[in-house]
Structure 1
Amino acid sequence: MKLKATLMAASAMALTAFAPASAEEVQKIGLAVANLQADYFNQIKLGVEAYATEKGIEVITVDAKNDGATQVSQVQDLLAQGIDAFIYIPAGAAAATVPARLAKAEGIPVVNVDRNAEGEPGDTFIATDNAASAYEVCKYIIDQAGGEGKMLMIHGQKGTTPEVERTKGCMKAIEENPGVEVVGEQWSNQWSQDEGLNITQNLLQAHPDTSIIFAQSDAMALGAAQAIKVSQMQQRIYLGGFDGDTTALPILAQGGFDATATQQVRGIGRLAVDSAIKLAAGEELPAEQLLPGYLTTPENAPEYVAEHP
């Protein structure tokens, strides 16, 4: 299948530069996840655990449930359990620097995934190229709308790396289309479907002439799609999401919304483990390792459903 070949080639190119190192230096990895209720984070967790198991490495996983204070406490417990490396997805922007600082003070290498901590970055940071992928999604839905219209933006958790980068990428597409006007925007707390529904309902009431919506996660896009359906707007509203969630891709394939950026979630998990091994062995890695996301529409979504994850 053409898509499968493309995905394998892109993943191979991204991972070849960081070929697996010996696991001898790493016997136990601590994995701190922001919120396992989110499909995206759960898929990364599964990627980390499956790949680490192949290498005979134990993974201790903790779930902060989007609470920064809880995550700090969980990381303190992880450090007390003698982990050799730390893979870290911050639960939010506020206390994001503390876990990385605690681990580094113990001489434990830190691999930040998806979100980096401003002022206290990990030894390497792994993510999708959020800005480039958000640009592609917003460019697509704007083009579908004829290059003009009133637009809403439903942001992720304010100040987190994905929210900042996805905003930046989408704004680039908007700036290239002077006929598009952002008439409303709102930030979420948990990137959730319920938030997408409630935020979109409120914004559509205030801006009933909206024709374009960018929701910064697929969960929020699904909520926005519900809100559009309930609102019974007369005009066509073009809707983009982000993530390529396993729950959202089949709905996208059926035309439930218009576009997303599919991330290499399991590949991110594997790269995080390889990076932890290399760092523990004393190797230096790039400050950032960004993997491509793939523009996904109803036309090609069935192929992603078949290949994902």
Structure 2
Amino acid sequence: MKTAFKSMIAAAALVAAAGTASAEGVGIKKIGLAVPNLQADFFNQIKLGVEGYAGKLGIEVIVVDAKNDTATQVSQVQDLLTQGIDAFIYIPAGAAAAAVPTRLARAEGIPVINVDREPEGAPGDTVIYGENVLSAYQVCDHIIGLAEGKGKMVVIHGQKGTTPEVQRFEGCKMAIDENPGVELVAQQWSQQWSPDEGFQIAQNMLQANPDISIIFGQADGLAMGAAKAVEVAGLADQIVVGGYDGDGAALESLVACDTPFIVTATQSTQAMGVLAVNSAIAVANDASVPARQIPNAVLTTCDDAAKFVEKHP
């Protein structure tokens, strides 16, 4: 199975180039961008990609931050639609009511580009998200390998039911299933994918299972919070921690390589923002785009994190 996964990973890297549009003949002047939480570096990187590229094309970007509240996001999107936006780039704040903003924009005939999370039952014109399954498999395969393929493992999930939460567990579970010496002893879901949640959840898990040796946090914030809990518990020499996303602080931590957090999957977040703008232009000009566009995520360890700190993809 590992050989098959490696070939699939290589193939997935080619998808990132698909679906882009020419900047000539833009045809749109204003984009609305709705994000769940600008405190998260992951969403900020996407915002930077959208704003930087749109700015070069002379496109105005109006950004709204839901602060992880779905009701707030629905209200913000309703307001965006009164401001004359020509396209809507949308990252749902959660699984509940995630379909509402897509339906509102579609009712106004506005192109909808979903990023990172796909609202169930209400797809946009395209969805762009990092390759979650295969890269989560890689991260979990890596930390399980460092634990010599055995031991007790826990998973700290992201927000329940969101696309990355579901897919990252699917990939990690494949690696777990390949290693019968690994026992998945606990799982818990977070609400905001945050370091504080990662710390608190990991503390509780360590109290219940002091002989844990492997932790997978489905986002770097969760993983870094968990690593801090491991250090506080005095178990840094016993436990390896893997994360996901390639956030700036996480990459800098990997360069220092002085905590139990030792691997992530770096997403092409700014490139995703550029791809979202290009897709919006394409749809606005009646060009076809793929239903799903899935840039690859790159396994990143202490050995190669520095290149992503210097230039984040």
TM bracket, shorter-chain basis: over 0.9
2:67 matched residue in structure 1: 65
Rounded Cα–Cα distance in structure 2 between residues aligned with 1:28 and 1:307: 28
Give 1:288 shift.
0.5
Rounded Cα–Cα distance in structure 1 between residues aligned with 2:177 and 2:130: 22
Letter in 2 for 1:37: Q
- From 80, 86, 89, give the equivalent of 2:88: 86
How many corresponding residue pairs? 300
Q: Is 2:128 the partner of 1:114?
A: no
Instruction: Please say which of residues 234-243 and 103-112 is displaced more in the overlay.
Output: 234-243
Give 1:22 shift.
3.3
Give 1:283 shift.
1.5
Change (3 A) 1:292 1:73: same
Residues 94-137 of structure 1: per-residue CA shift (max 9 Å, x gap) = 01000000000010010000001000011100011011110110
The gaps in structure 1 that reach 5 residues or longer are 1-9
2:302 matched residue in structure 1: 298
The gaps in structure 2 that reach 5 residues or longer are 1-11
SS of the aligned residue for 2:216 comes to strand
1:6 matched residue in structure 2: none
Q: Is the 8 A contact 2:34 2:64 kept in 1?
A: yes
2:288 matched residue in structure 1: 284
For 1:1-309, list aligned pairs within 5 A: 14-15=16-17, 17-233=19-235, 236-255=238-257, 256=259, 257-309=261-313
Instruction: Please say which of residues 53-62 and 14-23 is displaced more in the overlay.
Output: 14-23
Q: Is the 8 A contact 1:23 1:57 kept in 2?
A: no
Give 1:217 shift.
0.6
SS of the aligned residue for 1:239 comes to strand
Rounded Cα–Cα distance in structure 2 between residues aligned with 1:220 and 1:164: 16
Q: Is the 8 A contact 1:22 1:277 kept in 2?
A: no
SS of the aligned residue for 2:62 comes to strand
Give 1:21 shift.
4.4
- The alignment yields a C-alpha RMSD, in angstroms, of 1.5
SS of the aligned residue for 2:113 comes to strand
SS of the aligned residue for 2:156 comes to strand
Identity %: 61
Give 1:14 shift.
2.4
Residues 221-264 of structure 1: per-residue CA shift (max 9 Å, x gap) = 11001100011137520110001001111111222211000011
Give 1:305 shift.
1.6
Letter in 2 for 1:206: A
SS of the aligned residue for 2:214 comes to strand
TM-score between the two structures when normalised by the length of structure 2:
0.93
Change (3 A) 1:12 1:151: closer
Change (3 A) 1:33 1:17: closer
Rounded Cα–Cα distance in structure 2 between residues aligned with 1:23 and 1:12: 26
Q: Is the 8 A contact 1:11 1:267 kept in 2?
A: no
